[in-house]
Amino acid sequence: MSKYRAPFLFGLVAVAILGTGFLQSWNSALLIVNMGLVSAVMALGVNLQWGFAGLFNVGVVGFLALGGLATVLTSMPPVAEAWSAGGLRILAGLALGAATLTLAVITFKHMQKSRTRTAALLVILVGGFFLFRFVFDGGVAAVEAVNPAATGYLGGLGLPVLLAWPMGGVLAAGAAWLIGKTALGLRSDYLAIATLGIAEIIIAVMKNEDWLARGVKNVIGLPRPVPYEVDLQSDPAFVASAANLGIDPVTASTLYVKLGYMALFTVVLLILFWMAQRALHSPWGRMMRAIRDNEVAANAMGKDVTARHLQVFILGSAVCGIAGAMMTTLDGQLTPGSYQPLRYTFLIWVMVIVGGSGNNLGSILGGMLIWFLWVQVEPMGHFLLGLITAGMADGSALKSHLLDSAAHMRLLTMGLILLLVLRFSPRGLIPEE
């Protein structure tokens, strides 16, 4: 592989984005860059798990969602009414639930295997479950009754939204720890489906527990780390400097905001990239590759495979959590219904594989490129269809049928591009060295 390959490919993406800027608009271009950067962070997280350690995590969407949840929990103002209506009762309920589980685990560990143990476990679990439901359900009902159209949830801590990013990482890491403790013993595709299922569970909770973050009713209007365009537009100083540059204030304000996000995202990406890169090219990375290659042998050579797996699973998930928080911040809203595995889990996987798994640069490239395509295949699809149908007689049934189906060109085009890329570089665009 030539050493010019990576710079060349990044150049290509840059050209594509600049092209968007010149041909479409700079706002579009910047938006693509921003989500591209977030996608790159996600891809970095997945690459950490798959590329470094061979962990097949298809629960990416769950960790992204947790990051999103962290944004609400950190940055939204608390809903005082809801707290007084039943906040403490909910917390008490959750504590009861946790206590039940802990008790059950302790019983399981400390009693001999016997009928009595089974019976005791059953009593603890069933009794605990009903107690939990009783306390918890009451609290939930009270909280959700508080102005359901606008709130109906507990709200967050009201902290600056940037804090939500590390919080997202922490939340995702916590979940990853729990999951890892139970599921990491599984091999490849079995781990995959387990993580897939857990992600579904996380999303199901977020969709249905309205007291937490309004469920499918969505939380909109999240605080932003950058100024609002409308404020900028009414700020005379800003308008003046925009005029100096010869840009109209609306465009200037939208660009300004996007550039702000871009700067923040770039900083995060660079830090994470640096960390990942250092880790990969170190004895730690070597150890991880050894584990990926052959767990039995690595274990015999003194490497604690389970612990390392857990470590890298937590790290990768945390990165995904951070990315999820960044994305929700960029969107300005949390919409649990939109966390679809196709869009978030599998698209991220496409990014990692197309970029070249095991290669951090590849992940970043994959993230930027695939996101660019995901957005731009739509116009491309229309264009392609235009070409195909150009020769057909106007008003022919086939032509109108095809034009009606133009929207489906999006997935089709995406599929074709994916197949072409993988055809010409089957190990990804920037393969692992």
Partner 1 sequence: ESHANDVKLGVILGFTGPIESLTPSMAASAEMAMKEVSDSGKLLDGKTVTPVRADSTCVDAAAATSAAERLITSEGVKGIMGADCSGVTGAILASVAMPNGVVMISPSATSPALSDVEDAGMFFRTSPSDARQGQVLADLLIEKGLNSVAVTYTNNDYGKGLADSFSSAYTAAGGTVTGTAAHEDGKADYSAEVGALASAGGDALVVAGYVDQGGPGIIRASLDSGAFDTFVLPDGMIGAALEDTFGSDIDGSIGTVPGTESAGASKILEMATAAGFNGEGPYVGESYDAAALMLLAMQAAGSVESADYAGKIMGVANAPGEKIYPGELAKALEIIADGGEVDYVGATAVEFIGGGESAGSYKEILVEGGKLTTVAYR
Partner 2 sequence: MDFLNAVVALSNYVVVPAMAYGSQLALGALGVTLIYGILRFSNFAHGDTMAFGTMAVVMVTWAFQAMGVSIAPLPTALLALPFGIAICAALVLGTDRLVYRFYRAQKAKPVILVIVSMGVMFVLNGLVRFIIGVDDQRFGDGARLILSARDFKKMTGLDEGLVIKTSQGLTVLTAVIVVAWLYWFLTHTRSGKSMRAYSDNEDLALLSGINPERVVMITWIIVAALATIAGTLYGLDKSFKPFTYFQLLLPIFAAAIVGGLGSPLGAIAGGFVIAFSEVTVTYAWKKVLVYLLPEGLEPTGLVQLLSTDYKFAVSFVILLIVLLFRPTGLFAGKSV
Partner 3 sequence: MIRVENLHKHFGGFHAVDGASLTIEPGSITGLIGPNGAGKTTLFNVIAGVLKPTSGRVTMGDLDITGLPPHALFHKGLLRTFQIAHEFASMSCRENLMMVPGGQAGEVLWNTWFGRKRIADEERALRAKADEVLEFLTISHLAEQKAGQISGGQKKLLELGRTMMVDAKIVFLDEVGAGVNRTLLNTIGDAIIRLNKERGYTFVVIEHDMDFIGRLCDPVICMAEGKVLAQGTLDEIKANEQVIEAYLGTGLKNKEMLA
Q: In the complex, which residues of this chain contact partner 2 (CB under 8 A)?
A: 50, 56, 182-183, 185-190, 192-194, 196-198, 200-201, 204-205, 207-208, 341-342, 346, 349-350, 353-354, 357, 402, 405, 408-416, 418-419, 422-423, 426-427
Under rule CB under 8 A, residue 221 binds partner 1: yes
The token pair at 304 is: 């604690």
Under rule CB under 8 A, residue 23 binds partner 1: yes
Q: Among 340, 398, 419, 420, which residue sits at the site for partner 1 (rule: CB under 8 A)?
A: 340
Under rule CB under 8 A, residue 32 binds partner 1: yes
CA atoms in the 13 A half-sphere facing the CB of 237:
0
Minimum Å gap between C-beta 275 and partner 3 is 6
Distance CA 295, CA 79 (A): 50
Binding-residue total with partner 1 (CB under 8 A): 50
Minimum Å gap between C-beta 405 and partner 1 is 9
Burial of 7 (0-12, 13-18, 19+ CB in 10 A): exposed
Distance CA 413, CA 80 (A): 50
Minimum Å gap between C-beta 277 and partner 2 is 22
Distance CA 123, CA 386 (A): 68
Under rule CB under 8 A, residue 228 binds partner 1: yes
Q: How far is CA 77 from CA 80, 85, 153, 165, 275, in A?
A: 9, 16, 11, 17, 33
Output the DSSP codes for 165-222: HHHHHHHHHHHHHHHHHHHTTS-HHHHHHHHHHHHHHHHHHHHH-HHHH-GGG-EE--
Minimum Å gap between C-beta 322 and partner 3 is 17
Minimum Å gap between C-beta 190 and partner 3 is 20
Q: How far is CA 34 from CA 17, 21, 25, 391, in A?
A: 11, 13, 14, 39
Under rule CB under 8 A, residue 109 binds partner 3: no
Contact string (CB under 8 A) for partner 1, positions 378-397, x = contact: xx------------------
Minimum Å gap between C-beta 431 and partner 2 is 11
Minimum CB distance to partner 1 smaller for 191 or for 385: 385
Site for partner 3 in 244-283 (CB under 8 A): 275, 278-279, 282-283
Contact status, residue 366 vs residue 355, Cβ threshold 8 Å: yes
Distance CA 39, CA 120 (A): 48
The token pair at 210 is: 């309205």
Contact status, residue 276 vs residue 48, Cβ threshold 8 Å: yes
- Select from partner 2, partner 3, partner 1, none the partner in contact with residue 185, using the beta carbon and a kind-dependent cut-off of 5 to 8 Å: partner 2
Contact status, residue 311 vs residue 50, Cβ threshold 8 Å: no
Minimum Å gap between C-beta 282 and partner 3 is 4
- Select from partner 2, partner 3, partner 1, none the partner in contact with residue 221, using the beta carbon and a kind-dependent cut-off of 5 to 8 Å: partner 1
Which one-letter DSSP state was computed for residue 20? I
Site for partner 3 in 280-339 (CB under 8 A): 282-287, 289-290, 292-294, 296-305, 311, 315
Under rule CB under 8 A, residue 327 binds partner 1: yes
Phi, psi of 282 (to 5 degrees): -150, 170
- Select from partner 1, partner 2, partner 3, none the partner in contact with residue 335, using the beta carbon and a kind-dependent cut-off of 5 to 8 Å: partner 1
Closest to 70 in 3D by CA, of 340, 329, 348: 329
Under rule CB under 8 A, residue 207 binds partner 1: yes
The 10 Å Cβ neighbour count of residue 283 is 8
Under rule CB under 8 A, residue 251 binds partner 1: yes
Distance CA 335, CA 121 (A): 38
Under rule CB under 8 A, residue 404 binds partner 1: yes
Under rule CB under 8 A, residue 360 binds partner 1: no
Chain centroid to Cα 208, Å, comes to 19
Count, in order, helices (H) and strands (E) of the chain. 21, 2
Segment near partner 1 (CB under 8 A); pick from 89-97, 126-134, 296-304, 323-331: 323-331
Minimum Å gap between C-beta 234 and partner 1 is 11
Closest to 64 in 3D by CA, of 156, 172, 212: 172
Site for partner 1 in 293-312 (CB under 8 A): none
Minimum Å gap between C-beta 311 and partner 3 is 8
Which one-letter DSSP state was computed for residue 407? G
Binding residues (CB under 8 A) for partner 3: these are: 275, 278-279, 282-287, 289-290, 292-294, 296-305, 311, 315, 432
Catalog residues that contact partner 1 under the rule CB under 8 A.
20, 23-28, 31-32, 35, 148-150, 207-208, 215-218, 220-221, 228-230, 233, 250-251, 253-254, 257, 327, 330-333, 335, 337-338, 340, 343, 374-375, 378-379, 404, 406-408, 410-411
